[in-house]
Chain A
Amino acid sequence: MKCMYINNDGAGFADYIEIPEGTTVAQLFAQRVPGGQPSDYLIRVNRQPAVADQVLEAGDRISFTPTKIEGACPA
């Protein structure tokens, strides 16, 4: 099935991907962000926060976007 996938890692990605029926959010994350820490990303499906075992459906829009973007001046 086809889903829209958005991620800023690597060359950046915002396009449709083909994934097997029954794929969960956690499985897609492991496949697309190998070695990545889920806590470093806000994972959304159809613009709503998603849980790891959420099963993806055809046409879903999945985004992995960075979290904790913080800056500070030197002490």
Chain B
Amino acid sequence: MLFLRDVGSTEVGGFGLTNPQDLLFVEDFVMVQQVCSAVTVAFDDDSVAEFFDQQIDAGRRPETFGRVWIHSHPGTSAEPSNVDEETFARVFGRSDWAVMAILARGGQTYARLQYHVGPGGSLQIPVAVDWSQPFEATDWTAWQQEYVDNVRRDGPLRGGTFDKIRTSHAVTEFLTDHEWLLQTEKGMS
């Protein structure tokens, strides 16, 4: 998630895959196709549906892949916006429980658990990395490819040459945003 937050200049989002024995322990972060800008992220509806089908085919239960919604924020604040709150209420408001987690570029985190069983309620929960659990090795190439495959940039730089240049360098070369912009300008001229 840290890598995907920082690899481009856009917000990113996805779902947390959690441990069936511990539904608040996120073991993996999976992106779906999305249109992003520096300050927004919007998932593609078909891609979300396909994600659900794939997870079911993989033998997972909805409570382990469709309840922890994670996205990034630019800047230093991880506080949810009105758009975040509206999505959380509308999309996850009918689930027994769900978590909205936000990771700001500056490092601040926010996570809130809401539940609709019994009297219902909502509480902020702490976020931490559990280093005692096993984890796979770093794979920047695959992670960057995941970003390239799923993120379509919104706004004036969206699509066309910009995306092609980004894609052409995706696997072999890591570009900073500044380098990317320079190459894009060169490619467009």
Tell me the A residues contacting B by CB distance below 8 Å.
6-14, 33, 36, 40, 42, 44, 47, 61, 63, 65-75
Contacts and interface: CB of A to CB of B under 8 A. Distances in A.
Given A7-B62, A63-B49, A68-B45, A73 B96 contact: no
Contacts of A13: 62
B52 A70 contact: no
A10 B96 contact: yes
Contact of A68 (B40, B42, B53, B56): B42
18 contacts: A6-B56, A8-B62, A14-B56, A14-B62, A36-B94, A40-B90, A63-B49, A65-B45, A65-B48, A65-B49, A66-B48, A69-B42, A69-B87, A70-B42, A72-B39, A72-B84, A73-B74, A74-B81
Question: Would you call the interface of chain B mostly helix, strand, loop, or mixed?
Answer: mixed
Contacts, number: 104
B95 interface: yes
Given A40-B91, A42-B49, A44-B49, A71 B66 contact: no
Of A14, A63, A67, most buried by chain B (CB within 10 Å of CB) is A14
Contacts of B136: none
Q: Which of A10, A36, A69, A73 has the most C-beta atoms of chain B within 10 angstroms of its own C-beta?
A: A73
A14 B55 CA distance: 10
Interface of B: 11, 13, 39-43, 45-46, 48-50, 52-53, 56, 61-63, 66-67, 69, 71, 73-75, 77, 79-84, 87, 90-92, 94-96, 102
B91 A69 contact: yes
A56 to B, nearest CB: 17
Given A65-B48, A71-B102, 6 more contacts: A6-B53, A13-B62, A42-B45, A47-B50, A68-B45, A69-B43
Most buried by A among B61, B62, B74: B62
